[in-house]
Structure 1
Amino acid sequence: MPSERTRSVSMRDVAELAGVSGQTVSRVANNIGNVAERTRRRVELAMEELGYRPNIAARALRSGEFRSIAVVAFGLETLGNIRTVSAIADEAARRSYAVELISIQHAPDEPGTADFSWAMRRLGQDAVDGIILILETSKSATAALELPSGVPAVIVDAGAAFEHPSVDANQEQGARLAVDHLLSLGHPTVWHIAGPPESNAAAARARAWRSRLEDADRLVPDPVIGDWTPDSGYAAGLELAARGGVSAVFAANDQMALGALRAFHERGVAVPAAVSVVGFDDMAESAQFWPPLTTVRQHFEIAGATAVTLLVDQIERREVPAGRRLIDTEFILRASTGPFRERPAS
């Protein structure tokens, strides 16, 4: 005997079970206010019991909104991108927006441009109200960056200029805080483990490091280039330990600082007695390094929430001027830094 086809659950069914009007169910389904909390909860329980699912397509036709935003990230392997995406998802959920995440590996003017072009074509067709683009490479800040026409957008970047509103941590401020702290401890100069050259964030931190040393009339050593990973920090730490005379190191992120700490330990260079180390990011594990890492905290949660706010304001047709919104960084003092002690000549 063929099974009877189950009809879809309607708002009327929910209203009857909850003992409310269809208008009240509509208000709850569309997350509109003016519904008492007890009534809202009763409607939600009825929806859950009946398995009611709002008709998103019909709602979009009525309102012109899908309650959905796209997040395009140039890779999710970096700590900053991961934490920013997490913050965006949290704030979007709080505002009852769904998130579609697209991770691509190539910037618009790099080999593999098809990744970016495919993502932009897809977003031009998808049911999304706006786009948040998370950049990592400085090459992305070129004329090749073209977003779908007419779609609200926000850029989360590290210093590039766009026609769209953008959000970024104050990278230069954070690097200055790190260098100033080390100089205040009496260190004659500060060595730098830099991030990859193609990164906007790495370039901004390196510029501020160099500028601060020049302003203080200190020697500016050649930076040691890493790639954000602990392995590259370890290699840089071995190189710096072998040079001698290195008493203070500013690593462009905490993961490279972790690798450097291991290298110094293996080479018998005590931290902070012989060399002080400062990182950047304040990853969750930084307080558990040995010694606990002095670092610069980025407020990814504020950056993500700000990006969503700027995008939703555009979606809801409020005026949002272009330009960068800088999120202040915060200096976190722990045990990996100490006063300069001149070591006796060997």
Structure 2
Amino acid sequence: MADVARLAGVSAQTVSRVSNGYAGVNDATRRAVLDAMKELDYRPNSAARALKRGEFRTIGVITFSLATTGNVRTLEAIATAAAREGYAVTLLPVALPTQDEVRGAFSRLEELAVDAVIVIMEVHLLDAVTLTLPPHVQVVVVDSDAGDHYTVVDTDQAGGTRAAVRHLLDLGHETVWHLGGPEDSFAAQRRADAWRAALAEAGRVTPPLVRGDWSAESGYRAGLELARASGCGAVFAANDQMALGLLRALHERGLRVPEDVSVIGFDDIPEASSFLPPLTTVHQDFAEVGRLCVDAALRKVRQEEPERGTTLVPTRLVLRASTARPGRRDAE
């Protein structure tokens, strides 16, 4: 910095102001400093500046899986929103959602120097075996039933599910079967609970729940089971990937979609409109989830503490060709 100041004919303080983007430096002086920086190949030491300010402009992200569409798209949205605010993202995948793994992940992120941590949990923080997060770290949680203990951002799982079930019942189906996600997933459980509640509110029989693991292959296996089930004329799949496997199984068993069986998914992945037939599904706004997570994290960093509790991002039902009235060939 002293070399730059000498070459530009200014004080070191002026160089500091220019390198940090502060106002109050006239254009001619700013150009002289920037030219000197370029000539000397000078770059401000971001690590030193971070230590001085106590701000690293980095957000840590802990996630337990990168195998699911929801987690990957949420991570992408967080990275995009953080970059828009001038922050980098440090990702730390964790093998298992155990207390030791979580504690180790937070310790590692503290070593890497982050300002806040966003945790993509997809687990039940309020279960009997409770995962606790370090109280001294600025934390935002995604996709969990953390209640009022943490700041949580989540998709409106229940609202999206109710819309899907109501759509199928309004078409005239007697009931709706459910291809659910894994039992240890918070999102899967919330969707399954909402499915049961929607059928109960409508006074309909609740069929047995069939589970998959979010993958298309598990949807295919479950689809073979559903194809044999008596009276299965409408299925709500907990995600689009399992719905894809379900469509294949129904086709192989000679059942037409939507003429014989209506199918709805959840997520609205980019490929959903290219399924055969194009999939009716519940759209999740991952970009808004990511934006709200980063906004809440930065408010904590700036000591503008957001309220604890859950912020729900609305969903919307996207109608395509995989649902129809029972016995009709024309899709709704």
| TM-score, normalization by structure 1 | 0.85
Task: For 1:238 and 1:100, locate their aligned partners in 2 and report how far apart those are by CA, in whole Å.
Answer: 41
Residue 245 of structure 1 aligns to a residue whose secondary structure is coil
Per-residue deviation, 1:95: 0.9
* Fraction of identical pairs, as percent: 50
Equivalent residue number for residue 177 of structure 1: 163
Equivalent residue number for residue 233 of structure 2: 247
Per-residue deviation, 1:142: 6.0
Equivalent residue number for residue 101 of structure 1: 91
| TM-score, normalization by structure 2 | 0.89
Question: What pairs up with 1:82-121 in 2 under 5 angstroms?
Answer: 82-108=72-98, 113-121=99-107
Equivalent residue number for residue 284 of structure 2: 298
Residue 234 (structure 1) aligned to one of 212, 220, 243: 220
Residue 218 of structure 1 aligns to a residue whose secondary structure is coil
Equivalent residue number for residue 4 of structure 2: 13
Question: What pairs up with 1:72-83 in 2 under 5 angstroms?
Answer: 72-83=62-73
Q: 1:83 to 1:29 in 2, by over 3 A?
A: farther
Task: For 1:249 and 1:40, locate their aligned partners in 2 and report how far apart those are by CA, in whole Å.
Answer: 64
Per-residue deviation, 1:240: 1.0
- Please say if 1:160 is aligned against 2:146: yes
Q: 1:74 to 1:250 in 2, by over 3 A?
A: same
Residue 255 (structure 2) aligned to one of 269, 276, 281: 269
Task: For 2:188 and 2:197, locate their aligned partners in 1 and report how far apart those are by CA, in whole Å.
Answer: 14
Residue 326 (structure 1) aligned to one of 312, 324, 329: 312
Task: For 2:169 and 2:290, locate their aligned partners in 1 and report how far apart those are by CA, in whole Å.
Answer: 32
Equivalent residue number for residue 265 of structure 2: 279
Matched letter for residue 281 of structure 1 = D
Task: For 1:39 and 1:251, locate their aligned partners in 2 and report how far apart those are by CA, in whole Å.
Answer: 63
Task: For 1:40 and 1:184, locate their aligned partners in 2 and report how far apart those are by CA, in whole Å.
Answer: 66
Q: Deviations over 1:217-246 (max 9, x none)?
A: 111000111110001100111111112421
Residue 179 (structure 2) aligned to one of 177, 188, 193: 193
Per-residue deviation, 1:169: 0.3
Task: For 2:29 and 2:162, locate their aligned partners in 1 and report how far apart those are by CA, in whole Å.
Answer: 53
Residue 138 (structure 1) aligned to one of 117, 124, 144: 124
Moved more, 45-54 or 133-142: 45-54
Matched letter for residue 208 of structure 2 = D
Residue 327 of structure 2 aligns to a residue whose secondary structure is coil
Per-residue deviation, 1:341: 1.8
Q: 1:115 to 1:184 in 2, by over 3 A?
A: same
Can you give the 5+ residue segments of structure 1 that lack an aligned partner in the other structure? 1-9
Task: For 1:43 and 1:318, locate their aligned partners in 2 and report how far apart those are by CA, in whole Å.
Answer: 35
Task: For 1:251 and 1:43, locate their aligned partners in 2 and report how far apart those are by CA, in whole Å.
Answer: 60
Aligned residues: 329
Residue 182 of structure 2 aligns to a residue whose secondary structure is coil
Per-residue deviation, 1:139: 5.8
Q: 1:29 to 1:178 in 2, by over 3 A?
A: farther
Q: 1:47 to 1:253 in 2, by over 3 A?
A: farther
Alignment root-mean-square deviation, CA: 2.9
Q: 1:31 to 1:301 in 2, by over 3 A?
A: farther
Contact 2:102 2:133 in 1 (8 A): no
Equivalent residue number for residue 192 of structure 2: 206
Task: For 2:224 and 2:191, locate their aligned partners in 1 and report how far apart those are by CA, in whole Å.
Answer: 22
Can you give the 5+ residue segments of structure 2 that lack an aligned partner in the other structure? none
Task: For 2:192 and 2:240, locate their aligned partners in 1 and report how far apart those are by CA, in whole Å.
Answer: 15
Per-residue deviation, 1:138: 2.3
Equivalent residue number for residue 5 of structure 1: none
- Please say if 1:69 is aligned against 2:59: yes
Task: For 1:37 and 1:169, locate their aligned partners in 2 and report how far apart those are by CA, in whole Å.
Answer: 47
Contact 2:125 2:146 in 1 (8 A): no
Task: For 2:198 and 2:28, locate their aligned partners in 1 and report how far apart those are by CA, in whole Å.
Answer: 58
Per-residue deviation, 1:182: 0.5
Q: 1:314 to 1:332 in 2, by over 3 A?
A: same
Task: For 2:147 and 2:246, locate their aligned partners in 1 and report how far apart those are by CA, in whole Å.
Answer: 33
Moved more, 137-146 or 322-331: 137-146
Per-residue deviation, 1:342: 8.5
Equivalent residue number for residue 47 of structure 2: 57
